[in-house]
Amino acid sequence: MIHFHIPTHAQIRDNDKALLGVAAPSRVRPYLTLWKDERSTPLLPLPEIAIDTQVASIVIKDEGQRLGLGSFKALGGAYAVMTLFKGLLETHLGDEVSPAQLLSPTARDFAAGMTFCCATDGNHGKSVAAGARILGCRSVIFVHEGVTEARSDTIGADEVIRVKGNYDVSVDEAERVSKERGWLLVSDTSWEGYEEIPSLVAQGYTILAQEALEQISKLKIDPPTHVFLQAGVGGFASSISLHLSETLGHENIRTIIVEPDRAACLFASAQAGTLTSFKPTEPTIMAMLECYTPSLVAWRILNASASAFVTVTEDQAKDAMRMLAFRDQPVVSGESGAAGLAGYLAVARDPDARQKLGLDRNSRILVINTEGATDPATYEAIVGLAPTAVVQQAAIN
């Protein structure tokens, strides 16, 4: 399904622009030094898909290789943890500290008594746990009953607490327990009275948008005219949408939001014209997007910046995964990772949608593989090859 939307860029708040606009990546980048890995993730042209769908170009940013954690989320939660820790340490010391000083013996002593927590479908929790681990803090991650053991086992937290119910229930439980025990909650979704920390998480994601534009320029391709962004609560999508709009000019790029049809809370909100929860029916394989209530900040931004909201089926996501796996330069893309491409293909094959979104032979498309094979067994069942076998194909080619 497609809901066409009229963006109202003038309604985007100045503080949202300041957090996610042109200068945002420069605020994030110093913290990447704490990872000891500042490499950009690959950006690959998809010429065969561009020809088939009759556009000038389509490129995919492969976040499955980000910081060894397998998804773009590595940039957000860890950055928020580091930023929050820096502020608390400065208050404790009564003096400013640099990102590099967050690894000093003094900082380590301070970190020993601190616990960070969050709820997650998998990837955000990995990032929060990694950020805490780098600093020497403790981490506790809440997962709902739909998170597979394979995903929860790779989170890397000091403690993982499984909650009965869906993602929204785990968010509520993480908030409740964090208040009760004095833990620092680093959620990637926002609600009334809780906006600052999710906005920091979203700020971390702007790094990948900046990288993508730099890599596109190096390929001698003009900037994208359309970007297809998968969404759960919407933090990632709102970050990339606003950053690209501020950098390229909102009149030069259209944002299309893609969600599973079984968890389309932003689609429902766009249809209703106000933030709306989605009533779940059955789980989706796009587990990292299985969210039923939008982030308050994300909805505010996407309501003002998105040109359309699209839903995709389970089969469409699977087809996009296979399409990326079986090509000359294979991309290992998990179920949620391939959703953006699935959304693009759905729109590209719809003549009415093409016309309304200005999709033609001059269009330049950006999609993002937001995750690799976060559950290798599920990936193999869908694609027919293990992730390692797909990577070996790339080496042979």
**DSSP code, position 12:** S
User: In whole angstroms, how far apart are CA 111 and each of 63, 139, 272, 297, 389?
Assistant: 29, 11, 45, 29, 41
User: In whole angstroms, how far apart are CA 195 and each of 9, 60, 188, 253?
Assistant: 20, 30, 9, 26
Whose CA is closest to 275, among 255, 254, 257, 300? 300
Told to judge if 218 belongs to the known catalytic residues of this protein, a careful annotator would answer no
- The total number of residues shown for the chain amounts to 397
- φ/ψ of 43, rounded to 5, equals -125, 125
- φ/ψ of 239, rounded to 5, equals -65, -50
Q: One of 61, 73, 86, 318 is an active-site residue; which one?
A: 73
Told to judge if 168 belongs to the known catalytic residues of this protein, a careful annotator would answer no
- The torsion defined by the Cα of 146, 149, 151 and 155, in degrees rounded to 10, comes to 110
Q: One of 16, 62, 121, 168 is an active-site residue; which one?
A: 121
Maximal C-alpha separation, the chain: 61
Q: Which residues are catalytic?
A: 73, 121
